[in-house]
Structure 1
Amino acid sequence: MATNPPSIFSDSRRKANRLRTLSLQAGISAPARFVLDDMVDDMAERLAFVRHEPEKVLVIGDYTGRMADEVLPHTASINAADLVGKHAIDLSRPFPVTGFDFVGVLGLLDTVNDLPGALIHLRQALAPGGMVIAMFAGSGSLPALRKAIYAAEPDRPAARMHPLVDTRAAAELLQRAGWKDPVVDSHDLTVRYRSMDRLIADLREQGLGNVLASPAPPLTRVGLDRARQAFMAEADEDGRVTETFSILTLSGRRSLAGT
């Protein structure tokens, strides 16, 4: 008997968070976008390595437009989509258009309640032999911030940062979803900060904030001060804290038989 996946994340909060991100990216001078830029650069290298030159493409989550402008063949028919807007896609449901030679997903999958289902829908959106590359922040991301948040309320810690997928779990999910030639790997992106507040601002500008279905109440002023002090306790001799974003990459194909 089929059961619905647990509602760890709030769909309405995900969409509101995405709208805020798009607004900040459009309205702020030089907004942070280094996580997405890193994903685009990495995806470009992977496509070049496998010499995959698709003709019909779907790109989901690239608010910079770099995939279409700099990475994909100019002869390709490129469809751009996101969680919100005119061309919104619901990753938890079958896609309205299929038959793509390539689907690239930048971010977004880390806050899907039914990740196995989303991976199945991605495979079904491909033409036979088509390829998917999906990237998002995975397990091991933001260790300094997680430690600081825990220090803010050590006696009764609340869930303020959502759970993340690791490489082993991702590999098992790809097999369950029926991807052909599945590959899972990760790499670390490091950034140095002079304050926790600047890190929080960067996360908000890039849509990496908390979208849990049952969010914890805001930290008290005392708790926030504790978190800031714990964060800066990790600073090096230059007064900067090195934070890590562990980028998880899932890639695979649909079989030539179309299964």
Structure 2
Amino acid sequence: MARLPASANFLAPIITETLLDRLTMVTRAFPRTLLIGSHDRTLVDHLRAADTDLTLVEAGPRLAAETGAIAVEADAIDLPFASFDLILWPGGLDSVNDVPGALLRLRALLAPDGLLLGAFVGDGSLPRLRRSVVTEGVRAIARLHPQIDLSAMGNLLQRVGFTLPVVDVEALTVRYGDWFTLARDLRAAGLSSRLAPAPPPLTREEAMRIAAAFADQADPDGRIGETFRLVHFSGWAPHPDQPQPARRGSGTASLAAALKPKD
């Protein structure tokens, strides 16, 4: 990502716009903010212009050096507990080694009534690419990024202690002329393999087989529509003043009566 121009990552502005839109719906102020993934200058500049004390974290050492961020993986952040009122994570949750551990750490970093807000490319994404790789048998496990689904994300937020969790998905279809352009976009967005050590590079023959299998799925106009499912999530650190669910069995209205057809 550091070697490519920022404009190459087309997903970054889409995620940034969505995060900022959702943030404007929250009426409270956030004096201390942690941003995980500081490569999107628009988001960084917006937060710096806001009345918040901003801390940046970046997994890539080169990106961290360019932005003045702390170089550390999200599941290894070592900062004082309860030191942030807002944590923004615009992509990358699905690439850490320990997803529950990362969420638990972020929960500890949030002050009471603090907000975690983020997005990532989730389950069901890149179906045509996956089909191409699996069909050709090109070391699929080492090539395809793990993906987290909607229900698993909601369960994870609850398990680690977040309250009022919200998880939803936005499907984005991008149409490509060939597989090589898609591969370039995945690298620019940090969605290519991050295994260490890295698997052996594709041979020319393997790359051409994948490209041919991808092209075979083209629409009548010759272009291939690929799907990115952006999973958006939020959760709050517990606080006594937050809305609480009603006690189980305390309802007074009958669901059966409400659903009964009216004459």
TM over 0.5: yes
- Structure 2 counterparts to residues 17-96 of structure 1, below 5 A: 21-25=1-5, 31-70=7-46, 74-83=50-59, 84=61, 85=64, 86-96=69-79
Relative contact order (C-alpha < 8 Å, sep 6+): which is higher?
A: 1
Name structure 2 gaps, 5 residues minimum.
242-263
Deviations 1:136-194 (A, max 9, x none): 1110111111111122228x755320221101111111111111111111111221110
Moved beyond 6 Å, runs of 4+: none
Contact 1:171 1:183 in 2 (8 A): yes
Q: How far did 1:221 drift?
A: 3.2
In 2, the alpha carbon distance for the partners of 1:158 and 1:182 equals: 31
- 3-state DSSP class of the match of 1:223? helix
Q: 1:225 to 1:235 in 2, by over 3 A?
A: same
Q: How far did 1:70 drift?
A: 3.2
In 2, the alpha carbon distance for the partners of 1:215 and 1:47 equals: 37
Q: How far did 1:50 drift?
A: 2.8
Q: 1:64 to 1:151 in 2, by over 3 A?
A: same
Amino acid paired to 1:182: P
Deviations 1:16-44 (A, max 9, x none): xxxxx122236xxxx42221111111101
Equivalence for 1:110: 94
Is 1:199 aligned to residue 182 of structure 2?
yes
Q: Which has the larger radius of gyration?
A: 2
Counting matched residue pairs gives: 233
Q: 1:60 to 1:167 in 2, by over 3 A?
A: same
In 2, the alpha carbon distance for the partners of 1:218 and 1:234 equals: 24
Q: Percent identity?
A: 36
Equivalence for 1:10: none
Alignment RMSD, CA only?
2.3
Contact 1:152 1:224 in 2 (8 A): no
Q: 1:52 to 1:136 in 2, by over 3 A?
A: farther
Name structure 1 gaps, 5 residues minimum.
1-20
In 1, the alpha carbon distance for the partners of 2:85 and 2:113 equals: 7
In 2, the alpha carbon distance for the partners of 1:124 and 1:94 equals: 11
Amino acid paired to 2:3: S
Contact 1:53 1:73 in 2 (8 A): no
In 2, the alpha carbon distance for the partners of 1:234 and 1:45 equals: 35
Equivalence for 2:115: 131
Deviations 1:114-144 (A, max 9, x none): 1111001111111110100121111011111
In 2, the alpha carbon distance for the partners of 1:153 and 1:122 equals: 38
- 3-state DSSP class of the match of 2:133? helix
